[in-house]
Amino acid sequence: MRSLLQHWLVNQAQRRPEAVAVVFQGQPTTYGDLDLASNSLARALKAAGCTRGDRLALLLPKSPRALVAMLGALKADCMYVPVDTTNPISRIERIVHLCECRCLLAEGSSAAIVNELLAPGGAGKSAQVLWMDNGADLLDTVNAPFRWQDIEGFSSAPVDSHNSPDDPAHILFTSGSTGMPKGVVITHSNVVQFIRWAVQYFGMDASDRVRIIVPLPHPAKSK
């Protein structure tokens, strides 16, 4: 049986959909919530023309909705590219350009970046925007076929996947020795093997909790 990252979530959602997966700002999100929302997003991505192997830039702060974006991308057989929106816009432009991103998944806090990326001559001018909130801060010229309220209208039924464990799950960018961003392609198998090692090494089980410190957002730096 193929072991893809999203299968781990799906299996847990089937066993215990009511179990809490993450708590953010005091609000719990269950495994069932993540599974259903990411199914709807995956269908929205496919309706927007995303196909196997497409790169999707995530211009999102750390939150449960960012997890939905990651899982939705994987369920659509795409790979996601996390982008730190506090980076200089020149670095963000280079990442989006290098990945030839099919879609930009973003929300209000990154509206200024998205508007610049999609401006004439911008690095993301050919990309579509899937807006993970109401998109009130987007310019009228920005092509945003779906916003969060539209995504919620798609079916939350399970989505068929065609990827294999050796297919890329995401691309992580480092500064590189030259100071220019360089992407490292991480496959499903890479992450699965790391998780299996970490669980065994640290002796983790279902009763453990992991705390992640989320920094306060800062506006993107100028060129």
pLDDT digits (tens, 9 = 90+) for 122-138: 776 778 888 888 766 66
Compute the C-alpha angle 87/88/94, nearest 5°: 95
For residue 179, name the pLDDT band (cuts at 50, 70, 90). Answer: low
Domain boundaries, the chain: 5-202
pTM metric for this prediction: 0.87
Name the average pLDDT for the chain. 86
77 phi-psi bin (left φ>0, alpha ψ -120 to 50, beta other): left
- What integer pLDDT is reported at residue 124 of this predicted model? 67
pLDDT > 90: percent of the chain: 55
Per-residue model confidence (pLDDT) at position 135 = 64
186 Cβ contact list (under 8 Å, min separation 6): 168, 169, 170, 171, 172
- 81-109 per-position pLDDT tens digit: 999 998 899 999 999 999 999 999 998 88
Looking at CATH, the fold of the domain delimited by 5-202 is given as Rossmann fold (3.40.50)
pLDDT for the residue numbered 13: 95
β-sheet with 128-131: strand ranges across = 146-147, 128-131, 103-106, 55-59, 79-82, 168-174, 182-187
β-pairing, 168-174 vs 182-187, is antiparallel
**pLDDT at site 221:** 47
Write out the H or E segment, with its range, that includes residue 9. helix 5-15
Is the pLDDT higher at 44 or at 205?
44
Please state the φ and ψ torsions of residue 171, each to the nearest 5 degrees.
-120, 125
